[in-house]
Amino acid sequence: MTGASRFGRLAAVAGSLILAVPLTACAIHTSQRGSGRVEARPNPFEVTPAEAAAAAELAEKAIVDRELRGAGPFYLVATEVVRDKAAEEEGGGQRAILTTHYRYQGDLTIRTRVDLRRSEVVAVDALVGVPAPLAQEELDRARDLAFADPAVRRALGEQLGAVRVEPLVVRTADEEDPFYGRRLVRLLFKTATGYLRQPIVLVDLSGEKVIVEAPPATRPVDYPEPEG
């Protein structure tokens, strides 16, 4: 037997052994690599465009009927599928949709539950001072206001046309806060390399004002000086 063949047999044994050890230790099986995607299935919690339109129509009629429309800006900000335990236990094929409208006047969020199977409004809740997402029209308005502001344009400079704008809705629970009850949005500016640290731009959509904030101090906590 040549040295090479001895190496070959030894390697064969070693290779099998090394492979066998993890199999024995796990006593289970090898990788289930994550590529095994399940075929696409319709997501039951996704609202179809037809459902969204039908729910919005019913909800907005109910809001007007209840004299909740008020004056000023009013947006449909969310449409979602909600569960109904009683209906599920009955085994019914219900399709309950919750629409959320935001009314600037009075900082009012209106949640309307719609039973699409029966084409009827089940409940309307008008809530003051609760979080509500931003409608696309509101984001567009906030972006337009910010990009028209000289301080924002100056701060963004050459990146003005290249940044992607992402909104963060800001709320306060403090009635003394000047922005209490107002539709306030922080705009983030994202480039190919990440989020710009400056400028910090807030848009008060209720008053159509742009605020450019100074950055806070960077050092989070000062340690006490050691004695002696």
Which of 78, 86, 136, 67 minimizes the C-alpha distance to 112?
Answer: 78
Residue 17: how many other CB atoms lie within 10 Å? 9
Residue 146, exposed/middle/buried by CB under 10 A (0-12, 13-18, 19+)?
A: buried
Nearer to other proteins, 176 or 227 (CB): 176
From the list 48-56, 61-69, 132-140, 146-154, the region that binds other proteins by CB under 8 A is 132-140
d(CA 205, CA 27): 61
What x-and-dash track marks residues 163-182 binding other proteins by CB under 8 A?
---x-xxxxxxx--x-x---
Q: Can you tell me whether residue 52 is helix, strand or coil?
A: helix
Q: What gap in Å lies between CA 120 and CA 105, rounded to an integer?
A: 26
Site for other proteins in 107-126 (CB under 8 A): 111, 113, 123, 125
Taking CB under 8 A as the rule, does residue 31 contact other proteins?
A: yes
Provide, rounded to whole angstroms, the least separation between the CB of residue 113 and other proteins.
Answer: 6
Residues 179-218 that bind other proteins (CB under 8 A): 179, 186, 188-189, 191, 193-200, 213, 215-218
Stretch that binds other proteins, among 23-31, 65-73, 140-148, 203-211 (CB under 8 A): 23-31
Nearest to 70 by CA among 37, 105, 120: 105
For 192, phi and psi rounded to 5 degrees? Answer: -65, -25
Candidates 58-66, 68-76, 82-90, 140-148: pick the segment binding other proteins (CB under 8 A): 82-90
Q: Which stretch binds other proteins (CB under 8 A): 55-63, 65-73, 77-85, 143-151?
A: 77-85
